[in-house]
Amino acid sequence: MANKYGKNGEAVAAFLDEVSATDLAGWRALLDLASSSDELIAAVKAANAAPLPASARSAVYGAALKTFRGLGLGDSGLGTKISTIYSRIDAAARALAVRDALSPEQLRVILAPFVALGFQSVSDAAPAPTEP
């Protein structure tokens, strides 16, 4: 049976389930872990450019947005920082959907804050960094 999120749809769904179960303390911790970098920007661009059927791309985007809205962070006192939380959720969901098209390092950079928070759904998807 095809998944609405594409061939890696089970990974996307498991991740979004974990997002839904994360409390405000978890999101505050994510903000401490989610610094931007040139590597992150490049990895997100790669995830955006990776092939994914339009229907799956739309489903991933819609589910990430719906899940984020369901967190109820509007009254959390985080102000504009909630946009960082949304962008990281969205990027991670898309990266999981196209994970076969990303390098291990690209996937690791996008998923690292969630791995650090203990998300089980991404622990196997984001390999540890390699030593130079």
pLDDT classification of 123: cutoffs 50, 70, 90: confident
The pLDDT, as a whole number, for residue 61 is 95
Pull the structure tokens for residue 54: 């339009």
The pLDDT, as a whole number, for residue 131 is 43
The pLDDT, as a whole number, for residue 2 is 54
One-letter amino acid for residue 18 of the chain = E
Q: Which stretches of the chain are DSSP H helices? A: 9-20, 24-33, 38-49, 54-70, 82-97, 104-116, 120-123
In the predicted structure, residue 132 carries a pLDDT above the cut 60: no
pTM: 0.90
In the predicted structure, residue 54 carries a pLDDT above the cut 60: yes
Pull the structure tokens for residue 25: 């303390």
- Do residues 105 and 129 touch, judged by C-beta distance below 8 A? yes
The pLDDT, as a whole number, for residue 129 is 52
C-alpha–C-alpha distance, residues 31 and 113, integer Å: 9
Percentage with pLDDT > 70 across the chain: 92
One-letter amino acid for residue 41 of the chain = I
